[in-house]
Every structure is written in structure tokens, then in C-alpha cells.
Structure 1
Amino acid sequence: MKKRYYYLDHLRVCLTMLLVFHHAAITYGASGSWYYVELGVTGIAPIVLTLFTAVNQAFFLGLFFFLAGYFTPSSYERKGPARFLLDRFVRLGIPTLVYVFGIGPAVIYMANEQNETFGQFYMHNIATFKVITWGPLWFAEALLYFSIVYCGYRFIQKWLGQRKKPSLVQQETAASSAESITKFPSSRFLIAIALLIGMIAFMIRLLFPVGESILGMQFGYFASYIVMFIGGIHAYRNGWLERITTSQAKRWASISGIVIWILPIFLVTQGVLSGKPMQVNGGMNLQSLVYAFWEPFVAVGLCLGLLVLFREKWNRSGAFFQELGSAAFGVYVIHAFILVAVSKGASTLPLPALVKWMAVGTASVMISFAVSYVLRKIPAVNKVL
């Protein structure tokens, strides 16, 4: 049994905090879709916050899927397929349903001026399925599907293994091969993967542009999500997290630090600041192509850099950090309601957009973790969150 890496829990907590600030950034001018957007934001704030959210989108949800993939094999092997799937349905399915039919409708009602009571709004829109909001819980939905596919893969793997038992020579060859792949992938291999993700993402976005979703999921981003989830599984199997070298992580972080600026500079040369349309979301055009390849090269460096940084600097535990880690998923589920409530409450404050973003983001993070902590004290809720 592999030891627990505390730094992965801490990384997940920080990614959750970043998620709240990401959605707060859309509230105050960044490009993207969110429940409540403050009108009249001008100046430099929309540019700064759009770059912030673009960089986040390139790596942090993929890193969430990587961490989920990393812990999937051990959970499956510890519980067995039946208990594993039941646990996934409870821990992912129930929060998703609660959000779709409870939290999400409340957020929509709160975010928009209504001429009817919440009960009337619910009966007219939610009960009739006229409005379905998945919100951030599309991630839990997608992870549930990934878990089902993983169980199917393990079943097929076991079935094939029973049908054809390998000879002693084949077993030795397989063992030797397994040992040879424990080394963390080379930079050349990572470049190839990044190029592959970019090409697949570009092609997917010809049919499913960024911004268009099915059952709450934007397929335009799923090339990286699938690869990162699979990468997490292989990282667990091969001990890759211990084998990422500091020099390799620093090299890739430097590459990403340079690549980050390529997209905004390119878009400026395309005239987006002077009113020309931005076409990065999809289609047979140069902007979409550049954006599709920009994302994975940003992601590789930031993901490796963060994994090594947290491994080297924050691989320790404590009661406070353990509580934060335990509350993180609850924050993921409830933060939309809290963020919209806080941002609407702060709408009359005469503060610059960037200052308000920081203040509202910080307050929403603190309140979300506090509420999640309290909710987890309820026995029935604790089994889900």
C-alpha cells in the first residue's frame, strides 16, 4: 500500500481556492459564463482577469482530473468494483443531483431579478426541466462517467487475463517491460503528448466549440481532461510523482512562463483590442488553432511545477490542513451560491473591479470552507461530502 502524500491534499485545496477566484474573475470582467456578472466593468480589469482565467482553464481542471485519476486505482483495488462504483455514485452522483435540483436553481433565482416567488420559479422552470443547471458539478458528473469506464476497462482486462494466461517467459518479459516504464516520461514524450492534445482539441472544437455544452460538459476541453485522468492512473501505477525531477519541473515551468504570453501577444496582433472578433473558441481559423496548442504547453509546465513545488515544500500534515482537505469537495459543491451572494452583496461598494475581485474572492473562499466544515459535521452529509 502506497503512503499518503499530504502535498496532493494541499494542492487540491489550493486548486479549489483558485476555482473560486476563477469564477469571481468572470463576475468582474473576465471572458466566460457565470451566474452573476457585474455590469459596467471597463479599463484594464477585463484584460487582466481574462488572461488569469485563460491560464487557469489551461491547467487547473486538468490537474483536478489528474489527481482524481491518481487515486482511482487504489480506491478500486481497496473496495472492489461493486463498492467502488457504489461509492462513486454516492460521492459524485448525489452532490450532482442536489446541485441540479437544489443549489443551482437557488443560485439562478438569486442571481437574477425575479417577478415571482422561488416556488413559482421552481415549478415553472426546474420542475418542467425548462432550465437545467449543472454549474461546477459537471466535473463530478464527468468523473462519474470516467469511473464507470475505468471499471469497464478493469473488467475487460481481467476477462482477457483469464482467457489467456501468459507463459513464464511472457511474465518475465512483462515484468521487465513494467520496470522499464517506471521512469517519468521524458520532455520529448511530453512535447508529443502536448501536440497530440492540441490537435485533438482543435478538431473537437470544429464540432463542439468552447462555450457549448452537453449535459453541462464542454467537450471542447475534454482532450486534456481525458489524457490527464489517464496520466494520473499511470502516475500511480509507475510511481511517477516520486520521479519528476526538480530540474525537469523548473525547465517546463520556465517554458510555460514564456508560452503564457504568446496567446495575448498573438491576439493583439490579430486586432482584438481594436474591436476585431476573437475566434479562439473553435472553427477553422488561426486563432482557434493557436489557442488549442497554447493550452497544453501552458498546462504541462504549470502542472509539473506545482506538483514538484508542493512535494518539496508542503508535504506535511496537521489538524488544520486535514480539515481544509476534508472540506475541499464541499467547497466545490456550494461555492457558487456563496460567491453569488457575496458578489451581489458587494455590488454597491465603490471599489475598483480588481480590488473587489480580490475582496469578494477571499471572502467567498473563507465562507465556503467554513460552511463546508459545518455541513460535514452532519452525519448524513458527511457520507457524501
Structure 2
Amino acid sequence: MWLATVISVLFFAQAAWRIAKPGADTVDRASAYFNAANFILLGLLGLGCLYWPRRKEDDDDDKSPAGAELVVVVVDSTPAADGKSSSDSAKDAPTEAPTEAPPKRQVTYLSNLKTFLTFIVVTHHVVCFFSNACADGLQTYSLDMGKLLTFQDQDFRSFAFPGLMFTTMNQFYFMAPFYLISAYFCPRSLDRKGFRKFVVDKLVRLGGAWLLWTMLLAPLMSLMINAYAGQPLDWAYDQGTVWFVLWLLNFSVVYAAIAQFIPTVKMSMPHPFILLVIGVGLSGVYYGMTAALGGNLQTNGGSNSVHFGNMNGWDYSIAMYIPWFIAGIVGSRNDWLKSVEEMSTWVVWSLRFIVVGFWTIIFMVFVQSLFSIPGSHLDTPFLLSFLPPVYAMPMTLVVLQLFHQYFNATPQSKLMRNAGSAAYLVYVIQFWPMNLVMMTFVEILKAAGTPIIFIDGHNFITTDAEGNGTLLSEGAIWGGFFFVLVLTQLILWPLSFYLRKLPVMNKVF
């Protein structure tokens, strides 16, 4: 109980911080005040669940049930050592569930999918470090961002094209499955624990990680990077990648409250092709949101309202994250995973071909953006503002089915079991080892005689013979990418595995 109490109180402290330093412009200030209200409500909810008078049988300790849930990224989803899955059996079904609960099935593939997506998230950010410098920390460029953002032709850089392809294919879908699979295991967790313990557990597991990053690790990292780049020092607030954790906490708490009053929705999973039609409709919503907010994340455009309240894109949130979270809740009550696992072969291959078709469109968008191609007239701004939901829908189904078909061996290997248990902490702390390795790379460049200058804060480039700023050589870009990627992954996963065993850390992670 003490840890949950400390976390609840720290939310009040963070609310005070946001009010004291709300930002410079009107949108930033409104966002900070929204955050403060959000944090105060979470703190009150936590203290209320802990100390509001309760029945004796509800008075449980605050030990987080590590490994009890299969929640992607933010909850350990590793099956038990005896090979048994943590998925619910018929006896775990809520009273309002169908009379005949679905049989117990192995879901090892969800743990493996979580681990894979976390690996891709880390790789995605390393690619950002060397392509368009849109992550957090020491970064460089492999293209002219001014020309990219205005869709102008520019000189070809060999890393820029595959880098932008890779990050776009990820950005357009990979956070949506995180929300869906996380939500899929919320109903059974709520049924098993009850409202109070469910909320307290989420505050410890999710709120603890959020506070650890935003109040300690992110400001320390900012001090280190700014000191290295010769920038002003400040104890800065930064959401980093844990924006996902905050909003998963918000969504989970809202669901737990609503579930006390609304009946359970009973419905079979729509046919995948019906889901594609729904995806088209959600793309229309996404396009409207993007137009209303003045840009989209992929091009780093738009106003600060896109990120209001620490949401990494309200266009993504309204059109993807919230619908995918709701689908996870409804799918849990109606066992939609079984429908995904039993899709007909022709449907599976149709979805795979559709995904490849979207990859082709993304390929052509960046071919046109980076090269001058006569006769190519793709409407790049429209496509980047329309594709994500309609692409994320088949992509989510494809990765779920693919991992069920090929990566569902039970029991897991020791390597994958350990990686699965470390994945949550990997996601949270990834930028620390990434930036330390990047700093090492910069020192290697300096030792080799490459002049380094910092622009846009802590982003760096080199200079030519006349002293003008210019991009790093292509050899340096490619070499630096593989150096940072390999060393980051080799350090990050074992480090996270052992850090999560420390006192307190083992209750959060």
C-alpha cells in the first residue's frame, strides 16, 4: 500500500510542477493545466481507492501481481515457467459472460508480439536519430528537412529513403496494436480484482513508470544532453515515449469506471473485410482531425494542439488508439482472438496482399518526395493524412495472425521469456542507453577529425571546407546507425532485465 500511496501523492506534486511551469504560449499553458487536472484526478482516485472505507475482504496489500496479466508493453505478459498461459479459463469468466465460456487457449504469441513490437520501437527511434531527427536526444539528419516538410525534391541521400519508409510504415500502425492487446486483458483483470484493486494496480504499474520517467529520468537525460551540446540547463518536463503509458492509464481507469454501469456488449467479430470498410471511415475521421489540427505527425507539422495533454497526436488518438482500445475491450468479452486465429487462408493472404499494397503506396510517396519523377502526381499531403487507420486495420490483423501461426510455441524459450519480462522497462528507458551510445559515436567522429556543430538545440551536423554546415557523409550515417542500433539493443535488454529485479522496480515493472 505504501508504494501506491507515494505514487498517488507524487501525482499531486507533478500537477503542481505543470501549473508552476506551464509553458510559453496559450496552447502549451492549456495543455499543462489539462495535465495538472488529469494528475490531480489520478492522485485523488488512487488515495480514494486506498483509504476510502471498505469491506475487510477488499483490504488487500499493494503488491502488484507481476506476470498476472498479459498487457502489451506495460504489463509483463510472460507465461508461467510451467508453460501455462495466463489467459482466462472458463472459471475466470465474469458473471455476465456467455453461458459457455471459450476454452482455454495458449497465447504465447501475444508475449512474443509484444517483445517484437518493443524491439521495433527501439529500432524506429534509432532510425529517427539518423534520418529526420524527430526523436529525443542527440540526433543528426540525412536529408533537408525544410524541403521534406514542403514536399520539394532534394538531393538523394541513401539512408533517408529507407529510413523514412521504415518509420512511416511503423508510425502508421504500431501503437494501435499496443492499445488493442493491452485493452484485451483489462476486462478479466477487472473481474478478478474488482474496481479498487484494479485501479491501484494500474496506478502502480503505469503511473509508477510515468512518474519515474517524467519526474526523474527525462530531466536528468535532458541535463546530460544539453550540457554536452552546450545548451542552457533546465530541469525540463518531457513525456518521451511514456505518453503511451499515461494514456493507457487514463483509458484503463475510464473503462473501469464505465464498466460499473454499462452492460457487456455481445457481438461476434466483424468479418475482416468489414473491418477494412470501418478502417476507411476512420481514415476519414483521421483526415478531418489532421486538417483541423493543421498537419500530421509524420511530417512533424501541425500545431501544438496535436500533442495537447501529452497525447502523441490527437488525430491518431481519435481515429486509431481509442477505437483499437474499445475493440480490445469488446473483443475480450467475445473472444475475438479466436476469430483472428481461425481466419480462412484466402482471407489471410488477401490481408497480406493489401498490406503489401499499402507499403507500395508509401514507397511511391517517398520516391516522389525525394526524387524528381516525371509523370508522378501522387497527392502526398492527402495520402499522409488519410492512410494510417485504413492501413493499421489490416496490418494489425496480419501481425496477430502471423504471430499466432509462427510464433506460438509453448513453453517459450528462455531467451524470449526473459525478453518478454524486460520489454516494459525497455520501452520506458530506451533513450538513456541510446543517447549514451550516440554520444560515444559523436566522440568517435571528433577523434577521427570530423568537425561537429550543434543546430536546433542538440541536433548535430558537420562542416565543409569553407566552414558551412553540411550533413554527415553517407558512410558516417550508415556506420553510425548500425553502431548505435547494435550497441543500444545489446545494452538495453539485459540492463532492463536486471533493473526490474531491484526493490520497488519489481513492483512497477
TM-score, normalized by length of structure 2? 0.63
Output aligned runs, 1:19-58, within 5 Å: 19-30=121-132, 32-39=134-141, 43-58=157-172
CA deviation string 1:313-343 (max 9, x = no partner): 1112233322211111010111111111112
One of 177, 181, 185 as aligned partner of 1:63: 177
Q: Which amino acid aligns with 1:142?
A: W
Contact 2:499 2:505 in 1 (8 A): yes
Hey, what does 2:32 align to over in structure 1?
none
Shift of 1:70: 1.0
Distance 1:344 1:152, change over 3 A: same
One of 318, 334, 353 as aligned partner of 1:254: 353
Hey, what does 2:242 align to over in structure 1?
137
Q: Matched residues in 2 for 1:26 and 1:297: separation?
A: 24
Shift of 1:262: 1.3
Higher relative contact order (CA 8 A, sep 6+): 1
Q: Matched residues in 2 for 1:188 and 1:342: separation?
A: 45
Q: Which amino acid aligns with 2:438?
A: S
Contact 1:138 1:216 in 2 (8 A): yes
Q: Which runs of 5+ in 1 are unaligned?
A: 162-173, 275-279, 281-285
Shift of 1:110: 2.8
Output aligned runs, 1:187-206, within 5 Å: 187-206=272-291
- Does 2:110 match 1:5? no
Shift of 1:113: 4.0
Root-mean-square deviation (CA), in Å?
Answer: 2.6
Structure having the higher Rg: 2
Q: Matched residues in 2 for 1:291 and 1:40: separation?
A: 21
Give the 3-state SS of the residue equivalent to 1:157 in structure 2: coil
Hey, what does 2:17 align to over in structure 1?
none
Give the 3-state SS of the residue equivalent to 1:379 in structure 2: coil
TM-score, normalized by length of structure 1? 0.82
CA deviation string 1:252-297 (max 9, x = no partner): 121111112213424555x5646xxxxx9xxxxx544322332223
Q: Matched residues in 1 for 2:359 and 2:141: separation?
A: 28
Hey, what does 1:100 align to over in structure 2?
214
Q: Matched residues in 1 for 2:255 and 2:389: separation?
A: 24
Q: Which amino acid aligns with 2:291?
A: L
Output aligned runs, 1:1-385, within 5 Å: 1-2=88-89, 3=104, 4-30=106-132, 32-39=134-141, 43-114=157-228, 121=233, 125-126=234-235, 131-157=236-262, 178=266, 181-182=267-268, 184-208=269-293, 209=295, 210=297, 211=300, 212=304, 213-217=307-311, 218-222=313-317, 223-244=319-340, 245=343, 246-266=345-365, 268-269=367-368, 273=371, 287-315=380-408, 316=410, 317-347=412-442, 348=444, 351-385=475-509
Shift of 1:367: 1.3
Q: Matched residues in 2 for 1:115 and 1:227: separation?
A: 41
Shift of 1:49: 0.5
Q: Matched residues in 2 for 1:207 and 1:383: separation?
A: 41
CA deviation string 1:37-73 (max 9, x = no partner): 1256671211210110000011111111111111111
Shift of 1:301: 2.6
Shift of 1:311: 0.6
Hey, what does 1:165 align to over in structure 2?
none
Contact 1:89 1:144 in 2 (8 A): yes
Q: Matched residues in 2 for 1:84 and 1:288: separation?
A: 43
Q: Which amino acid aligns with 1:307?
A: L
Contact 1:68 1:232 in 2 (8 A): yes
Give the 3-state SS of the residue equivalent to 1:32 in structure 2: coil
Q: Matched residues in 2 for 1:290 and 1:115: separation?
A: 37
User: What percentage of aligned pairs have identical amino acids?
Assistant: 26
CA deviation string 1:221-243 (max 9, x = no partner): 11211111112222222222222
Contact 1:110 1:341 in 2 (8 A): no
CA deviation string 1:95-121 (max 9, x = no partner): 11111111111222233345889xx93
Q: Matched residues in 2 for 1:194 and 1:289: separation?
A: 16
Q: Matched residues in 1 for 2:338 and 2:486: separation?
A: 33
Q: Which amino acid aligns with 2:421?
A: S
Distance 1:155 1:12, change over 3 A: same
Contact 1:135 1:216 in 2 (8 A): no
Hey, what does 1:171 align to over in structure 2?
none
Q: Matched residues in 2 for 1:234 and 1:57: separation?
A: 25
Contact 1:31 1:50 in 2 (8 A): no
Compare 203-212 and 98-107 and name the one that shifted more: 203-212
The structure with more helix, counted as a fraction of residues: 1
Q: Matched residues in 1 for 2:404 and 2:159: separation?
A: 33
Q: Matched residues in 2 for 1:114 and 1:36: separation?
A: 9
Q: Matched residues in 2 for 1:28 and 1:75: separation?
A: 41
Contact 2:126 2:481 in 1 (8 A): yes
